[in-house]
Amino acid sequence: MKYEKWSPGYWVLKNIVRFADFIIYKQIIINSKEKIPRDKPILFAPNHQNALSDPMAVLLHTPYQPVWLARADIFKNKIAAAILRFMKIMPVYRIRDGKDQMANNDTTFNNSIKVLKSNGALALFPEAAHSGKRQMLAHKKAVPRIVFMAEEKSDENIDIHIIPTGIYYSSYWKFNRTVIVNFGDPVLVNDYLEEYKNNPNAATMALREKLYEEIDKLTINIRSKAHYQDFELIREYYGKEFLNKQGITYSPTNLFKSDQKLTNQLDQLEEVSPDKIEDVVNTVRAYQKILKKHHLRNWLVNKPANNTLKIVLNKLALLAGLPVFLFGFIFNAVPFFAIDKLVRAKIRDVAFWSTFSLVLGILIFPIVYLLELWAVSGLLPGIWFKLLFLVSLPFAGKLAFLYYILLRKTLGRIKLLYLKMFNKNEYSKILDLKKELFAKLDALIKA
């Protein structure tokens, strides 16, 4: 296979998946795309937290057909190997795969050089594994070794540009989530070549550290081991308050940057003031416990004064949107819930949930839609009505999901109003705990 050549089959698959992504995500935000050079060989180096969703986040939103390098053991099955190669994924062999297999890397590196010489794009995860957390793993040496080897094996300097890439998800697997992809300033391999000639190991380590620093700037990286989940809760509960405290207008990108600042300060405070962090952690856990006890979410408590009006407005919206919900639910519920239940039951690693949901969705939904079209085609006059019905199904499904979210929010507001009216002590306790938590954080965190 000529990996450096543009593939029409890859282009078709890419656009099918891009449409699926459009349905799955609430927002897809791409920042600093202009930093990717068009006339240079490049290697994308993203953080890795969410299995197949991570390469999708890169390849669907750049003009390239990136060639990914992946561990060789996933190529053992012949059918899987054929599919992976069609998707422009090449195997990299490691010592654990057997010393006799290492020579096969020559083919991979030769193909990599061809891609780079044609000003194409390679892609490789520096962590070499996904974490499933907002927590970057230690980087391996694979990226530096590959780019240095490519430069060595090339008969001329090919001037490789490594693009540090940060990927952030509002949720790793929930439907209607947000993804932010941040591209950083290119790291030039040429800057390290002289050192590599004199001391290959030192150059490899220096480039690895540089990439870690650059990717760290582009993602949320909670370093704490003891309080990772606690810091995630603080980010969820206090994040928008901290953004407002800085006088910054809300946007997903602004909130992301503010959350970076917040979590970095929490990590630093854990090192210098562990007692203060323990006190805040105890408070956030108490606040979480009482919210769970009453099946409430933090955002409900943010503006309790507006709750009654919101309930009335939400009920009106739910009444008006009921026909759309029923249409979308009837024709999408079976495949949606079947896939969700199957993935949750069979896939143990949560980081793979979104991957399997995407693949099963692309395979199953079109079949179900065609069967539904066949079932109702006798009721639809003319080819255009049939086509309109078919095209409307995925959009109606997404609208039905948004209706469901609005319904859940309305029920949550009713729960809070009920608590305010009939259990004032618990209601006051919730507000007091939140006030106490925010006061402690206001005193510790610098805007």
The percentage of residues in the chain with a pLDDT greater than 70, rounded to a whole number, is: 100
pTM of structure: 0.92
Query: 79-126: per-residue pLDDT in tens?
Result: 878 888 888 888 887 777 777 777 777 788 888 888 888 888 999 999
Distance CA 328, CA 372 (A): 12
Residue 377 has pLDDT above 70, yes or no: yes
Amino acid identity of residue 147, one-letter, is: V
pLDDT of residue 71: 77
- Residue 169: band (very low, low, confident or very high) from pLDDT cuts 50, 70, 90: very high
- Crossing angle, helix 307-346 and helix 382-422, to 10 degrees? 110
Mean pLDDT of 43-56: 93
Q: Point out the least confidently predicted range of 141-150, 360-369, 374-383.
A: 141-150
Region label for 32, one of left (φ > 0), alpha (ψ between -120 and 50) or beta (otherwise): left
The answer to whether the beta carbons of residues 183 and 43 sit under 8 Å apart is no
Query: 269-306: per-residue pLDDT in tens?
Result: 999 999 999 999 999 999 999 999 999 999 999 887 77
Tokens of 9: 């089959």
More confident site: 99 or 231:
231
Domain ranges within the chain, ordered by starting residue: 8-216, 305-433
More confident site: 146 or 404:
404
Question: What dotted CATH number matches 8-216?
Answer: 3.40.1130.10
Q: What sign results for the dihedral spanned by CA atoms 315, 320, 322, 327?
A: negative
pLDDT of residue 213: 97
Arithmetic mean of pLDDT over the chain: 93
HSE-up of 401 (CA within 13 Å, CB side)?
17
